[in-house]
Structure 1
């Protein structure tokens, strides 16, 4: 479900970006999401932490998980197709695996099955796009591609950092991190883009931003922090493969982007890769994940 939600975000960004610039879009997205998450947390009887050290950690989480990658992807989609952005953004497990190997840290054991799963997922991503679509990577805006890959690195670091919040309810972590993202993005958008001087965007673009905020950000973040607690960093980021498949499918259905028959075989490999990466974690109780 998280992969479907985040896969749709690439399509929604593509709808909104022609009339709503990236910093303004992200500022609106994270601010609406933060307000919604704070209200839900309060309704559930949860209070936000008061310790400064926790809020400092929330700021890092908000930067890595929301403010920076959202901005990089939104800017990147000004120059490349949403389906290509979705495929390029399927690489967080690669970064997670590399970080785990280099640092010898991480709650998920690096097993042969997971390495195979990562390889299957990458092969599935390539096959989903098809040979013709992948040939366009060299002609797309290089900086836009680098921006989306930079977002992938952020998405790899975010769950590793987010494991420190395992003692907090997912809704509290999501609300705190998103509030910090809003604090970062509101002044940035005001200084760089001065949104009050922009022409009013069409209803379609406004609806896309609202959907991005409420579904792809607020609701998705609660699921995301729950998965960090139960699956760990590599298991959580493995969903990026499925996200790429959904991004391609939705880009084809809604935006008219090309989808080849090879996508069916590619999505099969993607599913196999996700199962290979996450199956060992799913087979253990949630409490056992913290001891890996």
Structure 2
């Protein structure tokens, strides 16, 4: 992995870690549906402008079913779950729970793709579940039932990411940029009917508007471009290492900008989830950092 790729990787982790900060700032005022509709619409418009600049045409109707599957399970539904959870949980916890997606992906692969779980992966699942249990115990004592429901929403979102990751193995071959662009427009359509049922609660201020734009343009649209560049230059295995960095940035941003306390449970839970994910995916930092 070249120095440029390492810098892109760190920047991507910082951006995705920041997405939980912006959701935490806006979720209670806008509600989950309005927040996520604003996020995916801003991201879709951003990629539309990029596609016009590059002269790339999105054949949306040619892959309609595919875009809606990806748009639902990789964008709209998990985004909504995290926006719901952001009304209760802090940014660092959201980021940590998000990183359990590869754990669910491995379990789903063993059932769907008939890929047997190796002993190392099984151990990783147990370690990851232990990490989640540490976080659940922390919030059960402080937030009660509301906190537990929020944690379950995050885990459901991570499960959906696992479904999406496995679906892409059998999905039609579509270029990464078109996958991102088409699925975002599908997500816009999916979330739209929910708006009347989850109305805005507070007046939309300039800071809230800027946070939604940052979520859409920077944390979604621009982040997708960075991610797909990493996949192209260094392969999906190396790009996967961003999973381990996002919780670290989520913890740091939450502490710096929201004054969230960094407790022992948070650090222990994050460490266990990250170690479990490394074991499940078989990821090797040594191999990833070799220049390709």
Q: TM-score normalized by structure 2?
A: 0.77
CA shift, 1:55, in A, is 1.7
Match of 2:187 in 1: 181
Aligned partner (choices 132, 144, 157) of residue 151 of structure 1:
157
Whether 2:91 is the aligned partner of 1:82: answer yes
1:160 to 159, 166, 169: 166
Contact conserved, 1:96 with 1:156, CA < 8 A, in 2? Answer: yes
**CA 1:172/1:199 → structure 2, altered by over 3 Å: closer, same or farther?**
same
**Does the residue aligned with 1:258 lie in a helix, a strand or coil?**
coil
Out of 192, 197, 203, the position equivalent to 1:192 is 197
Q: Give the equivalent residue in structure 2 for 1:20.
A: 30
Task: Identify the match of residue 92 of structure 1 among 93, 97, 101.
Answer: 101
Alignment match of 1:215 (pick from 209, 213, 218): 218
Asked whether the 8 Å contact 2:100–2:273 carries over to 1, the reply is no
What is the distance in 2 between the residues matched to 1:172 and 1:282?
A: 32
Query: Structure 1 regions of 5+ residues with no counterpart?
Result: 285-292
- 1:44-79 residue CA offsets vs partner (Å, 9 max, x unmatched): 232212553x12100110111111111111111112
d(CA) in 1 for partners of 2:199 and 2:141? Answer: 38
Whole-angstrom distance in 2 between the partners of 1:25 and 1:194:
10
Q: Following superposition of structure 1 onto structure 2, how do residues 1-292 of structure 1 map, counting pairs within 5 Å? A: 1=9, 2-49=12-59, 52=62, 54-105=63-114, 136=142, 140-164=146-170, 167-189=173-195, 191-193=196-198, 199-225=202-228, 230-231=235-236, 239-260=242-263, 277=281, 279=283, 283=287
Structure 1 position 94, deviation (Å): 1.7
- Tell me if the contact between 1:29 and 1:210 (Cα under 8 Å) persists in the aligned partners: yes
- Secondary structure at the aligned position of 2:87 is classed as coil
**Residues 280/38 of structure 1: CA separation in 2 closer, same or farther (3 Å cut):** same
1:140 offset after TM fit, Å?
4.8
How far residue 8 of structure 1 moved from its aligned partner, in angstroms, is 1.3
1:180 and 1:122, CA in 2 relative to 1: closer, same or farther beyond 3 A? Answer: same
Q: Which runs of 5+ in 2 are unaligned?
A: 1-8
